[in-house]
Amino acid sequence: MESFVSTFSQQLRHAAEIGSAADLAVLAAWPRPHHVVVAGVGGSGIGGDVVRGIVLDRLPIPLSVVRTYTVPAFVGPDTLFIASSFSGDTEETLAAVDAAQARGARIVAITSGGGLLARAEQHGWPTVRIPGESKLPRANVGYSLVQLLFVLRATGLLGDEFQAELADAIVLLESHQEGVQREARDLAHALSDHLPIIYADARLEAVALRFRQQLNENANQLALVNTFSEMNHNEIVGWENPPAVLARTAVVLLRTPLDHPRVAVRMELCAPVFAAHAASVTTVDARGGSALAQALYLIQLLDWASVFTARLNGADPLTVPAIDELKARLAERT
């Protein structure tokens, strides 16, 4: 897993090359959609969530992420439906794209192959092919995330500025590797043998969820996520009981220069509340001049933290036996 994390910037550069070369010209001729739906789970789904947070103040129409077998009632001819599956065989995504096809949605596929590619070829859907050699969807979030941006650009819903922001982000990651890994190691020592509780501005929720998922799959460790200021209206009251459990928690505050000013104040005021009960409170500050760069910076730092936590936990970050066993049992029930 270390090799995948260490080459994240290279993956982003390759993803940009794939997106630039993708044959998506037909999308410009499509009628302007009323909404965008991204169907995907795991690493593919989180890519959609990250993009939604990045383009929140740019995209003129709503963007939803679907992780289920079914699609919302509003999906129809006015929907741009992006089916994203690394393997192409994710059963939830295949069921959702079949439902979207039946409702007349305009579909784009992002995949390395499998059943999704077969459907795309059968129906003539525009498709972006991504590499599938690694067999680890969570290690390929850069591919799915970047292709989503290029698809939105091809439809005219997003401008070209993200390409310069992506290039700047790649330079940022490559120039801060030593510091990123050092900070990630320190964070891992705080998290190992504790229950991480991760907080972020709501706009950054996807990055926090990505970190939780990476701790789950790489380090075999549970973690919790909530956002500011939502947690101030409920969860903050829970920071009293049970004391024995709270004493084994490790709070992580994810911050960026683009956080809402009132969220920054709320985090500052809540930090002492957490510190009074938790084993540790660690603040992780993003670098970068854009929402895209800041998200990618945090993704790499937190991916490193999950790998270093895996080492401390004695876990193999490349294997997910619980998921493999569940898939095998599900296959027996089809």
Give the amino acid at 121: E
3-state secondary structure 116-138: HHHHHHHHCCCEEECCCCCCCHH
Q: Are the C-beta atoms of residues 134 and 4 closer than 8 Å to each other?
A: yes
How far, in Å, CA of 2 to CA of 177, rounded?
Answer: 13
How far, in Å, CA of 161 to CA of 254, rounded?
Answer: 25
How far, in Å, CA of 53 to CA of 260, rounded?
Answer: 13
233 flagged as catalytic: yes
Q: What is the DSSP string of 237-279?
A: GGTTS-HHHHTTEEEEEEE-TTS-HHHHHHHHHHHHHHHTTSS
35 flagged as catalytic: no
Q: What are phi and psi of 116, to 5 degrees?
A: -65, -45
Sheet hosting strand 280-285, strand order edge to edge: 224-228, 195-201, 249-255, 280-285
Q: Cα dist. 333→9, 71, 330 in Å? A: 40, 23, 5
Burial status of residue 85 (CB atoms within 10 A of its CB: 0-12, 13-18, 19 or more) = buried
34 flagged as catalytic: no
Q: Write down the catalytic residue from 92, 183, 205, 217.
A: 217
Residues recognised as catalytic: 217, 233, 327
